[in-house]
Amino acid sequence: MDTLSPSGIQSSSIAGFMSGFTVETTPVAATKVADFRDILRPGAQVYVTFLPGSDYRDSVTAAKRLRDEGFEPVPHFAARSMASTEQFQDYLERCVSEAGVTRVLTIAGAVEKPLGPYSDSMQLLDSGLFDKHGITSIGVAGHPEGSPDMSDEAIRGALEWKNAFAERTDASLYILTQFCFEAEPIIAWDKALNAAGNRLPIRIGVPGNAKLSTLIKYATACGVGNSIRFLKKQGSAVANLLRQQAPDKLVRDLAAYAANDVDCGINGVHMYPLGGLAKTAKWSYAVADGAFVLGDNGGFDVSVDLS
């Protein structure tokens, strides 16, 4: 039965908003998963990180394993971590030939000084190598609360460039954002992008179930200012940092925005499994299946055991 929330959004709209959610794993975390088929449903898109100091071949290995187990791997390409054009090309060729990759995410990467010739993702895109190797879908980074590595003006300029690039590449481009914890800054950001002429669809980053202490740690590392202040306020006002958190209110608010504003540019959700992939996947599938009960506090409770 479809339930209507006090804010006027139907539960089916929340489920629809979460349908097709994507997740991610690090190569190290992947080695600790016995079988991804025990956690994820067939065909799920799983992003594979390429973190500073790591070996890109480990990302290839994780992507190949995901493909072999029936999933769609989406490896990260971090520009500043590419030591050379040859390394970039080898990484891409291995992803395509060994893991059947057709989707990638391009980011600048959290390296202060580039290891090679690339300082931003635009240089990777402009190389032409993604088109040459048959990549059909490319994600680019979005920053609803700004970035510690770029000025707001530089972010706006990069987004304009990427919108223009989308017209001359064979691949489909979209924006995938860092995670946030409140809907208000995300909605304001989306509206600002619309006003600036953005035409790229947006997959919004949502933090998975995790302790507040874990969320604050990751938010601090990502330079997510408003979210850090929000989380610290929650920690002192609600209970303590050991209380388990779920992103139900954020998802409900964003689903309402997507359902009620025809100009909303958000058309997907990417779950960051900060509290663990298994728990995040259980929660996300429960929401997508409609297995939840709307609450009076602006959120909802899923009807499955997450333990």
Q: So where are the chain's domains?
A: 11-209+246-287
pLDDT of residue 105: 98
Percent of the chain with pLDDT over 90: 71
pLDDT of residue 93: 98
Q: Any idea what the Cα angle at residue 13 is, between residues 4 and 189, rounded to 5°?
A: 115
Cα separations in angstroms, 28 against 8, 61, 203: 43, 11, 25
Euclidean distance between CA atoms 113 and 80, whole angstroms = 7
**Start-to-end CA span in the chain (Å):** 26
Give the pLDDT score at 179.
85
Tell the CATH topology of 11-209+246-287: TIM Barrel (3.20.20)
What predicted TM-score, i.e. pTM, was given to this entire model?
0.89
Q: Which residues of the chain have pLDDT under 50?
A: 1, 4-7, 221-228, 230-232, 234-244
